[in-house]
Structures are given as structure tokens and as C-alpha cells.
Chain A
Amino acid sequence: GENVEQHPSTLSVQEGDSAVIKCTYSDSASNYFPWYKQELGKRPQLIIDIRSNVGEKKDQRIAVTLNKTAKHFSLHITETQPEDSAVYFCAASTGSNYKLTFGKGTLLTVNP
């Protein structure tokens, strides 16, 4: 089955700096790669996603890049703000069964 590795497990940045979180996946058939933000005790919130026919996608301060050959994808957050502090999860899914496999998460702390 699919295996998703996520790094780093914790990331601390100063307000205004950029943050980058990286994930690798094992199943070359995976074709959908969402990123979720989860605050303590709450549901994961989709912040951005990318499909395998696209190499990069941007939404304001957030961007995701996908390298299908290397089987890795990354989340980039620019101009970080304290409210960006949360746990971020990457995930991968194949079209065959639509199951999402999650990475272990990254605790992002943005210091004011």
C-alpha cells in the first residue's frame, strides 16, 4: 500500500519567514495530494491540493509543488503569521479506491 513520509516533524519560524514542509510517497499510481491544517481538537482543514497532472499550484501565501518523477511534494507558506501555527498533514490518494494516506504531520510554530 501507499506510504507517505513527512518532514520535518516540528518546525519553528519567525513571523514573516517562509516555511517549507516536504513529503514523499511510494505508490506511483497516486494522483491526488492534499495538504491539511489541523488545530488542536479540530477537524483537518484542506488548505491546498494538487493533482498529478499539475506541477505547481498557488493560493495567496500558500503553494504546493509536485515532482512525480521523484515522488515528492512540498508545501510552501510565505510571510508566515502566528495564526499559521498548527499541525500540517500531507496526504496521497490513488483513484482506484480513493483512500487517503496521511503523513505523520508537522507541528509548525510561528513566533511573533
Chain B
Amino acid sequence: GAVVSQHPSWVICKSGTSVKIECRSLDFQATTMFWYRQFPKQSLMLMATSNEGSKATYEQGVEKDKFLINHASLTLSTLTVTSAHPEDSSFYICSGDREGLLVYTFGSGTRLTVV
């Protein structure tokens, strides 16, 4: 089946530093990659939608200069949390739409802790 590999699975960083999270679709072309954030005991909140080769579309309230998304190829999308602060600590998870077929494949998630 379709697999999205997400790395790292967990990361601890200091306030003010940047963290890059990578999602790679291993056996399909992800036309669209969605990035979600999930706080403890809460639902998945969509942060942004990225399409290969174009700028990401951010949801209302999500700072595009803080959460940099790059979707340089049909198999790789990255999320960089810049100047991280403790309130950015969360579970970040990507989901690839398999070639526009409405088949969403989730990565394994990244637990980010900012200290």
C-alpha cells in the first residue's frame, strides 16, 4: 500500500532555533501534501496545503513566515518551523493525496518539543 515516510519522529529543540520535518511518499506521487498540527487530546488542524512546484496555501491564522513549506517534487515535502517557541510544541503530521484520487496517506507524525 501507499506509504509516507516522515522524519524525524520526535525532536527536542531550543527556543529560537528552526526545525525541519520531512515527508516523503515512497511508492506514489503525492500531488498534494497536507500539513496538520495536533495538540494533546485535540483534533487534527490543517495548517497548509502544498502542491508540487507551487506556493503552499495556508489556513487562516497560520503564519506562513513561521511555518515554511516546500514541495519541490512529487515525492518530497518539508515543513520548517522557524524561530520555534514552546507554544509550537505539538504533534505535526503530513498527509499525501495519492495523485488526486482522494486517497489520503498519513505520515507517522513528528512530536516537536521546544524547550
Q: Is the pair A100, B95 in contact by a Cβ cutoff of 8 Å?
A: yes
Given contact pairs A100-B95, A104-B42, A43 touches B108 in the complex (Cβ within 8 A):
yes
Complex: A93 Cα to B45 Cα, angstroms: 14
The answer to whether B43 and A99 have CB atoms under 8 Å apart is no
Which residues of B lie under 8 Å from residue A32 when comparing CB positions? 102
Residue interface bits A74-105, CB-to-B below 8 A is 1, else 0: 00000000000000010001010111111111
Interface membership of B44, Cβ < 8 A: yes
> Within the assembled complex, what's the spacing in Å between the Cα atoms of A97 and B93?
19
| B interface size (C-beta, 8 A) | 20
Q: Flag whether A44 is at the interface (Cβ < 8 A).
A: yes
A-B contact count (CB 8 A): 43
Is A46 an interface position by the 8 A CB rule? yes
CB distance from A108 to the nearest CB of B (A): 14
Given A98-B97, A99-B34, A100-B95, residue A44 in contact with residue B46 (CB < 8 A): no
Name A100's contact: one of B42, B91, B104, B107 (CB within 8 Å).
B104
Q: Contacts of B32 on A, CB cut-off 8 Å?
A: 98
Interface SS, A side: loop
Q: How far is the CA of A89 from the CA of B100 in the complex (A)?
A: 22
Q: Would A43 and B49 count as touching, CB distance under 8 A?
A: no
- B104 near A43 with CB under 8 A, answer no
Q: State whether the Cβ of A41 lies closer than 8 Å to any Cβ in chain B.
A: yes
Using known A-B contacts A32-B102, A93-B102, determine if residue A42 contacts B109 with beta carbons closer than 8 Å: yes
0/1 string, B36-59, CB within 8 A of A gives 1: 000000111110010000000000
Interface set of A (CB-CB < 8 Å, partner B): 32, 34, 41-46, 89, 93, 95, 97-105
What are 7 A-B residue pairs whose CB atoms fall within 8 Å in the complex? A43-B106, A44-B93, A45-B106, A46-B104, A93-B102, A100-B46, A104-B43
